[in-house]
Amino acid sequence: MKQNIIIGIIGGTGAMGQWFKTFFEEQGHKVLIASRKTELTPVECAKKCDVVIVSVPIDKTVEIIKQIGPHIKEDALLTDFTSLKSEPVKAMLAHSKSEVIGCHPVFGPTIKSLKKQTVVLCPARGEKWLSWFKEIFEKNGAFVKIANPKEHDKAMAIVQSLRHYTELAFANTIKDLKVDVKETLEYTSPVYWLRMITMGRLLAQDPRLYADIEVMNPETIKVIDSYINSLKILRDIVKKKDVEGFVNLFEENSEYFKDFKKEFMEESDYLIEQMVNKK
């Protein structure tokens, strides 16, 4: 492994690219940035670097990989920072001869450190760079999950797509009912306030990023169909005033999550306490 590693970030003028530019420079590495806004082109950057990171919008990722892949050194690492892995990894393998590791930092550029953040790595070709890549995240406090691309995308359909879908549906319901949001907050409990916070956090960000996460993950529609089916079951229970049906459904789910209930309760109590005590 070379000591003076040159890292190139394609799309590095974006918020995520800038975050990782600072991060890798703090680790002692030289970082080159290439985008539509820089004099250095993506292809020139790819030729110069030992590690090439594609950090562009999901719908542009495969296009950029096709463009730069043939120019990356065979002993280099090609990776991407997008939220989906199957298609980018397939493209990296097809259009380069370098080592390939799909990477998904499961956080946004507003974080202050990697402590307790998750990074998913999908090793696809070669072994030389994996330990270095994994260690650079772990030594800064991140949890690194190793997965294959399909496993990753199935997990993200739950961790990201289902969550985004439910938050947007929650917001859309409030909008359609013409609810006075400010007034509801006068009735609120800390738990409702937490829900409003997570919804508001989603709506404060780039809608195109979330659209790509929802629409381009082939696993999403199956998850959404299951969610809609769950809503229909609950709707029928309420419409029929079926108290026993509600209790049974509640208890079935309580049993499914039995290994996590205590921890989730304790964590939520802690968060509520912090909110209540916030000045």
pTM for this model (two decimals): 0.89
pLDDT of residue 173: 97
Where do the domains of the chain lie?
A: 6-147, 151-241
**1.10.150, 2.60.120, 1.10.3660, 1.10.3470: CATH of 151-241:** 1.10.3660
Please state which of the four CATH numbers 3.40.50.720, 3.40.950.10, 3.90.1300.10, 1.10.760.10 is assigned to the domain occupying 6-147.
Answer: 3.40.50.720
pLDDT tens series, the chain, 279 aa? 666 899 999 998 889 999 999 999 999 999 999 998 999 999 999 999 999 999 999 999 999 999 999 999 999 999 999 999 999 999 999 999 999 999 999 999 999 999 999 999 999 999 999 999 999 999 999 999 999 999 999 999 999 999 999 999 999 999 999 999 999 999 988 899 999 999 999 999 889 989 999 999 999 999 999 999 999 999 999 999 999 999 999 999 999 999 999 999 999 999 988 888 875
Could you tell me which of 203, 217, 127, 119 has the C-alpha nearest to residue 164? 203
